[in-house]
């Protein structure tokens, strides 16, 4: 809008909204034109870019017509309007002129104002009541007529619809009998197939043309009322959409007809209607078959439905017998009065081509059997015996093999339509699919039942989940073991509810990893039994994948009870631990060798005794003879033979030879471990042999010494024979023997006495301490073997306190008891005595020297279990820091007093072996409280 325009309210009336509104609301016709220039740069024409609603109504044109100004106003150049347009576009000054626009043969006078806007031209049209001044009315009328004629002819020649102008011929005044074609357009022949129709009547072209066509056009010619209708012309074999209206004077009986061939549309509609009907039938059929489980019933119901829908006389299925010769009709629908044909039939009775067609998968259609040229008289007779006038047989094949034939029969000949044949094939496929489904489901149910019986028969827990871990099946063993009936759940829920809390998280991590990688799921975990106990299971599951997508859809798993195996493994582990501890004993040498005496392993004690490095002994190049002095080679071989024959060897004293040539004495005994391996235990008795030589000067002392030595040897034999059993007595005997000898003899050399006696005493003390520890460990291993009995706590406590009376006096101890909650308990008495003795002994041993010891012994009940409590006010310790280590073997927290670190280990092993547990609370300087759960043992257990 120009800057000097009086309108400045742009904020209130934005330009982008104002212009469309003005164009839409304007009552005069507004046409926006785009100049079209000639190559020379002169104005050649104007393109009609946009017509507002008023212009569209005035000029009867769309908003964006395809024509130009000169095409719309052909007289624009001769009547002087073109110079006015050119002037307005060049100067920008408004121009005024008049034009004539013909509408339906009638001239309309229009007044036009032109105004340049930017690079385009705006034309404002208003209708003038009189011809504009200076305009020749005759010239305008002629131009309008020429324009109308040109437009009519163009329309007449170019439209796709058929058009004809006819004269209706009457017999009398009211009865139309024919019509003559006065004019036809080019599309007429394409739409009707009638050629050279102008001047000829319809009866001449198609004598059998239906009368109703003449009646309709006669009514239009007489009444003048136009009519539109759709009708089939049977003689032309076409459907038409017709619009007929009278033209000219009524007495001329002329009717213009505009029509379109809609045969394809009607055929499509009819096909659609038939398809919809068939689809409705197929949907009803599917709904009818879906709940059925019996294959024979499915076939019969489908045959009934199709027979009733098509009005067939007989419909059914025949199953191929796989012998290239026979088929069996199992069930069939028949109309009243039509016999059933259930039975066994030969293909050859109906012609050899029948089986060939079925095998190739071709549908066999016979619309008129009696006149079928492909059949012999004999074959026609076979059909006639079944009262067949027309048949369709649809073969059903799976994986290239003929399975069955779906047939439909009519007593009389029947012309099959494509829609009927398609329906037959679709029904056959759907019905057979339903039959296959029913058979598959029945087989699946049978398979599932067999699987369930098999799964319930196996001793393991068998289970199935879907791909996400939702449970679908647990066999009977699950409910028997857990005591809980199976119900739908998930892997996570089962792990939470039944798997040991220490194993649940690891189980789910392993399952999620198996799902992620698609590998086998395998884990060992504990599952809670019905009585609340836990047993170890090996859980393993294989993934099952969808054959098409490859996605995991099922997990098939089993849980195998491996609790006994785990216990054996644990026992083996403990045995190995004990063996390693035995191998680590400093005073007993141990050798492993084969049946030929080839050494392949040893413990450090023997390496220290023999002077051989472990690598040398483990090289399988050193033999027992290598270690033995020549004079003992024979007895060494004899001992080896004894091992081969009896499995063990008699304890043997012999002299060994070190790599440096020095000799030492050893007491040894062997045991065969397997068919190929033996073990030998060796004690270094060199010092004893030296003492024996030193005492040989006195026959009496020598005899006594030999007697004691023999006893000692016997004790050592027992130790070697059972290294993990009670070895304390032989050592005690050896210690007593030495003391007796020491009191009874005199050393000739005092310096030798000062060296030898302390050395022997120290070795015996060390050996005794070691054997005490071994005995304690042996007691711990056998802690669970003693029988349970009813123990009176008061009597047992008095017995223990009597033994500890010296320690009590030393610690100024005052000991109180309270057994009111549980005066007697069921427990192995000897084990309970050991537990109480160790706990009270520790309380006295680690009493605070700054104050008298106070110890309280009591029993209280926790969930039906007796709990023995020992509380003291001694030195205490940091239980949070050392609690887990407290019960470890050889672990001591206080070094100011003697001890071996075995007592609490022994207590813990005894308690655990009898089904209990032990807890401790303590702080440094505040004493300690030990709580012992004694388990649920009954007398005789």
Interior CA angle at 932 toward 931 and 933, to 5°? 120
Do the first three CATH levels of 291-443 and 458-568 match, i.e. the same topology? yes
- Partners of 110 in beta bridges: 99, 127
Q: How far apart are CA 402 and CA 396, in angstroms?
A: 6
- Enumerate the H helices of 112-185 as residue ranges: 137-158
DSSP letter string, 121-138: EEEEEEE-SSPPTT--HH
Torsion of CA 276, 280, 285, 288, to 10 degrees: 170
Name the token pair of 682.
């060796």
CATH number of 291-443: 3.30.450.40
pTM of the model: 0.35
pLDDT over 80 (residue 884): no
Name the token pair of 684.
């270094």
- Enumerate the H helices of 35-136 as residue ranges: 53-59, 69-72, 81-91
Strand pairing category for 854-862 and 814-818: parallel
Q: How far apart are CA 890 and CA 585, in angstroms?
A: 14
Q: How far apart are CA 13 and CA 7, in angstroms?
A: 10
**Cβ(864)–Cβ(835) under 8 Å?**
no
Q: How far apart are CA 869 and CA 818, in angstroms?
A: 10
Give the CATH superfamily of 585-685.
PAS domain (3.30.450.20)
Q: What sign has the CA pseudo-torsion 60, 66, 69, 70?
A: negative
- Mean pLDDT for 514-526 is 94
Split at pLDDT 50, 70, 90, the class of 827 is confident
CATH architecture of the region 783-940: 2-Layer Sandwich (3.30)
Distances (CA, A) of 763 to 157, 684, 759, 895: 136, 11, 6, 22
Phi then psi dihedrals of residue 229, to 5 deg: -160, 165
Q: How far apart are CA 516 and CA 469, in angstroms?
A: 12
Residue 725: per-residue pLDDT: 46
Length of the chain: 941
- Partners of 115 in beta bridges: 122
Sheet containing strand 162-171, strands side by side: 175-184, 162-171, 254-261, 238-247, 227-233
Count other Cβ atoms within 10 Å, centred on residue 161: 15
DSSP letter string, 217-274: HHHHHHH---EEEEEEETTTTEEEEEEEEEES-GGG-EEEEEEEE-HHHHHHHHHHHH
DSSP letter string, 513-558: HHHHHT--EEEEEEEE-TTS-EEEEEEEEEEEE-TTT--EEEEEEE
Q: How far is CA 56 from the centre of its chain?
A: 66
**Cβ(29)–Cβ(54) under 8 Å?**
yes
pLDDT over 50 (residue 717): no
Phi then psi dihedrals of residue 904, to 5 deg: -70, -30
pLDDT over 90 (residue 299): no
Of the candidates 151, 130, 157, 152, the one whose C-alpha atom is nearest the C-alpha of residue 74 is: 151
Phi then psi dihedrals of residue 94, to 5 deg: -65, 145
pLDDT over 90 (residue 508): yes
Distances (CA, A) of 559 to 74, 458, 463: 98, 11, 8
Residue 25: per-residue pLDDT: 84
Strand pairing category for 552-561 and 106-117: unpaired
Residue 702: per-residue pLDDT: 54
Q: How far apart are CA 735 and CA 718, in angstroms?
A: 16
Split at pLDDT 50, 70, 90, the class of 759 is confident
Q: How far apart are CA 394 and CA 185, in angstroms?
A: 50
Using CB atoms within 10 Å of the CB of residue 499, give its burial: 0 to 12 exposed, 13 to 18 middle, 19+ buried. buried
Of the candidates 588, 281, 293, the one whose C-alpha atom is nearest the C-alpha of residue 436 is: 293
CA atoms within 13 A on the CB side of 516: 6
For the domain made up of 26-127, give the CATH fold: Beta-Lactamase (3.30.450)
Distances (CA, A) of 150 to 76, 95, 141, 153: 17, 30, 14, 5
Q: How far apart are the first and last CA of the chain?
A: 114
**Cβ(922)–Cβ(929) under 8 Å?**
yes
Q: What sign has the CA pseudo-torsion 784, 789, 793, 797?
A: negative
- Mean pLDDT for 8-26 is 72
pLDDT over 50 (residue 580): yes
pLDDT over 50 (residue 941): no
3-state secondary structure of 4: coil
Q: How far apart are CA 599 and CA 618, in angstroms?
A: 7
pLDDT over 70 (residue 5): no
DSSP annotation of 477: H
Q: How far is CA 700 from the centre of its chain?
A: 90
Give the CATH superfamily of 157-268.
PAS domain (3.30.450.20)
Phi then psi dihedrals of residue 596, to 5 deg: -95, 0
Distances (CA, A) of 438 to 227, 426, 441: 59, 18, 5
Q: In this predicted model, what pLDDT tens digit does every residue of 373-409 receive, in sequence order?
A: 888 988 889 888 888 899 999 888 888 888 889 899 9
pLDDT over 60 (residue 787): yes
**Cβ(84)–Cβ(97) under 8 Å?**
yes
Lowest mean pLDDT among 130-144, 336-350, 351-365: 130-144
Q: Where are the domains of the chain?
A: 26-127, 157-268, 291-443, 458-568, 585-685, 783-940
Interior CA angle at 536 toward 534 and 538, to 5°? 145
Of the candidates 351, 398, 402, 391, the one whose C-alpha atom is nearest the C-alpha of residue 374 is: 351
Strand pairing category for 588-594 and 598-602: antiparallel
Residue 494: per-residue pLDDT: 94
Lowest mean pLDDT among 166-180, 387-401, 617-631, 755-769: 755-769
Lowest mean pLDDT among 53-62, 395-404, 900-909: 900-909
Q: How far apart are CA 510 and CA 528, in angstroms?
A: 19
Q: How far apart are CA 299 and CA 331, in angstroms?
A: 7
- Mean pLDDT for 705-729 is 52
Residue 75: per-residue pLDDT: 58
**Class level of CATH domain 458-568:** alpha beta
Lowest mean pLDDT among 1-15, 114-128, 392-406, 916-930: 1-15
- Mean pLDDT for 178-189 is 93
Lowest mean pLDDT among 3-17, 155-169, 221-235: 3-17
**Cβ(831)–Cβ(910) under 8 Å?**
yes
Name the token pair of 861.
């009940």
Strand pairing category for 521-528 and 43-51: unpaired
Lowest mean pLDDT among 69-73, 112-116, 309-313, 413-417: 69-73
Torsion of CA 34, 39, 42, 46, to 10 degrees: -20
Residue 184: per-residue pLDDT: 92
Name the token pair of 116.
């340049």
Task: Please name the residue that has the structure tokens 């598959």.
Answer: 440
Residue 11: per-residue pLDDT: 66
Q: How far apart are CA 546 and CA 552, in angstroms?
A: 6
Lowest mean pLDDT among 70-74, 636-640, 698-702, 895-899: 895-899
Q: How far apart are CA 917 and CA 778, in angstroms?
A: 20
Residue 765: per-residue pLDDT: 62
């Amino acid at each position: 809008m120009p800057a000097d325009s009086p309108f400045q309210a742009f904020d209130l009336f934005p330009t982008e909204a104002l212009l469309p509104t003005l164009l839409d609301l304007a009552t005069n016709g507004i046409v926006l034109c785009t100049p079209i220039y000639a190559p020379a740069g002169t104005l050649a024409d104007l393109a009609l870019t946009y017509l507002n609603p008023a212009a569209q109504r005035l000029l009867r044109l769309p908003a964006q017509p395809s024509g130009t100004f000169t095409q719309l106003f052909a007289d624009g150049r001769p009547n002087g309007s073109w110079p006015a347009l050119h002037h307005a576009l060049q100067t920008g000054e408004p121009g005024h002129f008049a034009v004539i626009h013909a509408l339906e043969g009638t001239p309309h006078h229009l007044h036009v104002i032109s105004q340049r806007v930017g690079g385009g031209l705006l034309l404002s049209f208003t209708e003038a009541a009189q011809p504009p001044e200076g305009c020749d009315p005759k010239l305008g009328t002629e131009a309008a007529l020429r324009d109308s004629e040109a437009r009519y002819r163009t329309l007449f020649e170019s439209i796709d619809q058929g058009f004809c102008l006819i004269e209706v011929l009457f017999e009398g005044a009211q009865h139309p009998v024919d019509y003559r074609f006065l004019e036809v357009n080019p599309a007429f022949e394409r739409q009707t197939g009638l050629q050279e129709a102008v001047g000829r009547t319809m009866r001449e072209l198609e004598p059998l043309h239906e009368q109703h066509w003449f009646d309709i056009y006669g009514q239009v010619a007489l009444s003048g009322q136009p009519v539109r209708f759709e009708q089939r012309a049977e003689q032309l074999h076409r459907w038409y959409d017709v619009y007929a209206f009278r033209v000219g004077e009524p007495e001329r009986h002329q009717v213009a007809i505009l029509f379109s061939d809609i045969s394809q549309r009607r055929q499509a509609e009819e096909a659609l209607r038939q398809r919809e009907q068939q689809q409705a039938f197929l949907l009803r059929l599917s709904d009818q078959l879906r709940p059925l489980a019996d294959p024979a019933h499915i076939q019969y119901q489908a045959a009934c439905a199709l027979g009733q829908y098509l009005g067939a006389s007989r419909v059914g299925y025949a199953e191929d017998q796989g012998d290239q010769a026979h088929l069996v009709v199992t069930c069939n629908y028949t109309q009243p009065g039509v016999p059933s044909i259930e039975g066994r039939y030969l293909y050859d009775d109906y012609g050899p081509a029948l089986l060939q067609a079925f095998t190739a998968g071709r549908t066999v259609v016979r619309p008129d059997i009696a006149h079928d040229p492909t059949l012999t008289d004999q074959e026609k007779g076979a059909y006639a015996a079944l009262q067949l006038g027309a048949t369709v047989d649809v073969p059903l094949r799976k994986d290239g093999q003929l399975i069955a034939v779906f047939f439909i029969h009519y007593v009389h000949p029947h012309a099959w339509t494509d829609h009927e044949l398609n329906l037959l094939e679709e029904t056959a496929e759907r019905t057979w699919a339903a039959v296959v489904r029913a058979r598959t489901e029945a087989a699946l149910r049978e398979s599932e039942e067999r699987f369930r019986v098999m799964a319930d028969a196996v001793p393991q827990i068998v289970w199935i989940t879907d791909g996400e871990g939702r449970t679908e099946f647990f066999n009977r063993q699950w409910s028997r073991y857990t005591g809980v009936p199976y119900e739908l759940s998930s892997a996570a829920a089962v792990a939470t509810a039944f798997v040991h809390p220490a194993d649940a998280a690891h189980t789910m991590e392993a399952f999620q990893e198996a799902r992620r990688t698609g590998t086998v799921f395998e884990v060992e975990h504990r599952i809670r039994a019905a009585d609340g106990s836990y047993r170890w299971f090996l859980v393993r599951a294989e993934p099952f994948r969808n054959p098409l997508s490859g996605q995991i859809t099922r997990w098939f798993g089993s849980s195998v009870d491996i609790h006994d195996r785990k216990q054996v493994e644990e026992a083996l582990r403990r045995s190995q631990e004990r063996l390693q501890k035995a191998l680590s004993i400093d005073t007993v040498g141990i050798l492993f060798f084969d049946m030929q005496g080839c050494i392949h392993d040893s413990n450090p004690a023997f390496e220290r005794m023999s002077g051989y490095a472990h690598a040398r002994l483990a090289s399988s190049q050193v033999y027992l003879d290598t270690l033995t002095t020549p004079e003992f080679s024979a007895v060494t071989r004899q001992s080896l033979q004894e091992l081969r024959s009896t499995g063990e060897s008699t304890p043997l004293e012999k002299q060994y030879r070190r790599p440096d040539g020095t000799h030492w004495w050893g007491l040894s005994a062997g045991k065969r471990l397997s068919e190929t391996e033996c073990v030998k235990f060796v004690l270094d008795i060199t010092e004893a042999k030296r003492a024996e030589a030193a005492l040989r000067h006195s026959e009496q002392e020598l005899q006594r010494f030999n007697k004691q030595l023999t006893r000692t040897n016997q004790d050592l034999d027992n130790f070697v024979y059972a290294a993990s059993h009670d070895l304390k007595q032989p050592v005690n005997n050896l210690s007593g023997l030495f003391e007796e000898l020491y009191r009874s003899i005199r050393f000739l050399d005092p310096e030798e006495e000062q060296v030898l006696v302390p050395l022997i005493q120290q070795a015996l003390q060390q050996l005794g301490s070691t054997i005490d520890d071994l005995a304690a460990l042996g007691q711990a291993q056998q802690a669970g073997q003693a029988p349970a009995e009813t123990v009176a706590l008061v009597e047992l406590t008095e017995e223990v306190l009597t033994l500890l009376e010296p320690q009590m006096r030393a610690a100024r101890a005052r000991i109180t008891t309270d057994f009111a909650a549980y005066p007697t308990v069921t427990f192995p008495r000897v084990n309970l005595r050991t537990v109480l003795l160790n706990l009270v002994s520790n309380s006295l041993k680690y009493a605070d020297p700054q104050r008298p010891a106070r110890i309280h012994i009591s029993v209280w009940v926790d969930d039906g279990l007796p709990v023995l409590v020992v509380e003291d006010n001694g030195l205490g310790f940091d239980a949070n820091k050392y609690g887990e280590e407290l019960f470890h073997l050889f672990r001591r927290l206080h070094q100011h007093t003697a001890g071996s670190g075995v007592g609490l280990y022994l207590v813990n092993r005894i308690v655990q072996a009898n089904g209990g547990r032990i807890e401790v609370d303590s702080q440094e300087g505040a004493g300690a409280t030990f709580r012992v759960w004694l388990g649920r043992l009954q007398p005789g257990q």
